[in-house]
Amino acid sequence: MSIAAVYTTAQDAAASPEAAASPCDIRIADLRKSFGTHQVLKGIGLEIGRGQSVALLGANGSGKSTLLRCCLRLLEPDGGQVRLLDQEMTALGGGALRRLRAQVGFVFQRHNLVPRLSALSNVLHGVQARRGGPQSWFQSLARKEDREEALHCLERVGLADQAGKRADQLSGGQSQRVAIARALMQRPRMVFADEPVASLDPAAGEEVMDLFVGLMRDQGLTVFFTSHHLRHALGYADRLIALRGGCKVLDGAAAEQDMEALKAIYTKVEEPPS
Amino acid sequence: MSENAAVKAGAIPPRFERPGILAFLAYLLVIAFLVLSIEGSQLSVLGFFEGLPYMADLFVRMIPPDLSRIGPILSALLETFQMALVGTALGVLFSLPLAIWASKRLSPHPLVYYAARGLISWFRTVPDLVWALFFVVTVGLGPFAGTLALMVDTMGFCGKFFAEAMEETEEGPQEALTALGARRSGVICAAVIPAAMPSFINTSLFSLEKATRSSVVLGLVGAGGIGIELKVAMDLFEYPTAATIIVCIFILVLLVERLSSHLRQRII
């Protein structure tokens, strides 16, 4: 399938009544971001319904990570609107921005744990979303109930026995599971993940994706993740969105896509429609 | 011919590139100033060899070291180490917020950043002996003046290295904590400081070694410690007593260095 055909599918999907009817956790309109003269996001618009699992696809440099970071304003967008959980993210500042971020878990590609702290301390950092101060910095200073909750989160990712181990002594898969436990500790209402298994071997990647999507689905959370694994995207997402050159070129139900059509997103034969 | 041109032509590149006219003049100026400095410092090989018999004579007069005043000497030595320890501890403590403000990534405002950087540079560039003189004049003779001088010197030393260590930490964990709604203080205390801790410990231990050596000298200007004992012994030609003091200082500095090296290996 050519890019033009894929784009047609995207337009059809965006106009589907199902997408319009469900309550939206994420609503993005005309999102733009440039680095110097290079325009990475060229007016992206999308809506993601509550409880949906959506995969964001695209080649390197297509703007996937930038889009996720702009949603939480880890990168400031140049223009456009981001509305998360019915709040205008782009209009918030200070404490209000922190409180909204606290409701969104974020799992990074390279887990981003604090290397010299224990797995338990790293999971406990998730409580900073609700409570600041030294009690949320290290497990040794934490409240009893927070320590117990952090241990429970580690139990859910199968790492309760590694609670006291330093993060830099864990394997890649274990580290990513600790990062998932940290996101659970936030008690999030939705979760973003930026290529959560890109740094893992295929077996560990499969295991982590199973755990990640499984845990989030159990809680009925909205999941928005980027991936280069087309099989993961088709297997774990309800809906696929694809970017190419900073533009949205596909938006449709995962069940309706086939592998060959998705591969077209990564070819460099045609330019995306302007 | 430039190196690249020579390589393109297939010839062996020259061993050294010919400097440009400005670089050549700069080299000449540096060499000329070095020669002038040798003259200015009155460097004399003859003077050194003429002084050798006097050095040997002084050495002979120092032996055997006189242990009759070992009690007061050890007491002054303890005071010296206490000055170094307290000065370093306070310096390290005050360096931490100063270094956070002086770290480009963590500073709350560019003005705060430049002010903190300027203060650290000022603390570093003024020698500890000058700080000691300043504090002797302002707070009076004794170990308190020395401790303050060591504290300020440590702030200059640790402030710079702490700030650099924090700037070099991985941004990933900080971004993760920001993303989950942590406050700035939470990001600094839970992600930046733990990551920079090995460097903090290393710098602090070096600082303690440096302060121990400095605290000996500070006594010469009346800022407490064993330095004044050494000066009095030398002024009164009590060379065996001076020898005892020098050996005691040597042992103290050696012990601190060994302990610091041991701690560095154990903790980091």
Residue B1 is predicted with a pLDDT of: 46
Of A11-15, A143-147, B151-155, B206-210, the range with the highest mean pLDDT is B151-155
For the full predicted model, state whether its pTM sits above 0.90: no
Least confident range of A12-26, A125-139, B178-192: A12-26
pLDDT tens sequence across A214-228: 888 888 888 999 988
Q: Do A128 and B190 touch (CB under 8 A)?
A: yes
Residue A268 is predicted with a pLDDT of: 59
**% pLDDT > 70, chain A:** 89
pLDDT tens sequence across A175-200: 988 999 999 899 998 999 998 888 77
Helix (H) or strand (E) holding A248: strand A247-253
CA of B172 vs chain A CAs: smallest distance (Å): 5
Separation between Cα atoms, residue A177 and residue A163, nearest integer Å: 12
Any idea which residue has 């297997």 for tokens? A235
* Contact A49/B at CB under 8 A: no
Token readout for A46 is 């999308």
Task: Give mean pLDDT, residues B7-18.
Answer: 75
Q: How would residue A17 be classed by pLDDT, with cut points 50, 70 and 90?
A: very low
Q: How far is CA B55 from CA B48, B61, B127, in A?
A: 10, 10, 29
For residue A270, pLDDT over 60 is answered with no
Token readout for A198 is 């890109």
Least confident range of A85-94, A104-113, B204-213: A85-94
pLDDT tens sequence across B60-69: 999 899 999 8
Residue A10 is predicted with a pLDDT of: 41
pLDDT tens sequence across A18-69: 444 458 889 999 999 999 888 888 888 898 988 889 999 888 888 889 999 9
Q: Which of B170, B171, B178, B180 to mutate to test the interface with A (most CBs of A within 10 A)?
A: B180
Task: Give mean pLDDT, residues A230-250.
Answer: 86
What ipTM goes with this model?
0.83
For residue A12, pLDDT over 50 is answered with no
Residue A5 is predicted with a pLDDT of: 42
Amino acid at A6: V
Task: Give mean pLDDT, residues B170-194.
Answer: 92
**Cis omega before residue B64 (within 30°)?**
yes
For residue B111, pLDDT over 90 is answered with yes
Dump the DSSP string for A64-97. Answer: HHHHHHHHTTSS--SEEEEEETTEEGGG--HHHH
DSSP state of A116: T
Greater confidence, B99 or B44?
Answer: B99
Looking at chain A, which residue has its C-alpha nearest residue B189? A137
CA of B209 vs chain A CAs: smallest distance (Å): 26
Beta carbons within 8 Å of B249's beta carbon, 6+ residues apart: B77, B80, B216, B226, B230
Q: Which CATH class is domain B88-267?
A: mainly alpha
Nearest neighbour of A137 by CB, restricted to B178, B179, B189: B189
Task: Give mean pLDDT, residues B72-76.
Answer: 92
Q: Is B2 exposed, middle or buried (0-12, 13-18, 19+ CB in 10 A)?
A: exposed
Looking at chain A, which residue has its C-alpha nearest residue B192? A114
User: How high is the mean pLDDT of chain A?
Assistant: 83
Q: Do A126 and B180 touch (CB under 8 A)?
A: yes
For residue A1, pLDDT over 60 is answered with no
Residue A221 phi/psi, 5° resolution?
Answer: -85, 150
Residue B7 is predicted with a pLDDT of: 54
For residue B178, pLDDT over 80 is answered with yes
Q: Do A128 and B195 touch (CB under 8 A)?
A: no
Residue A8 is predicted with a pLDDT of: 38
Task: List strands edge to edge, sheet with A53-57.
Answer: A104-107, A190-194, A222-226, A53-57, A239-244, A247-253
Q: Do A129 and B194 touch (CB under 8 A)?
A: no
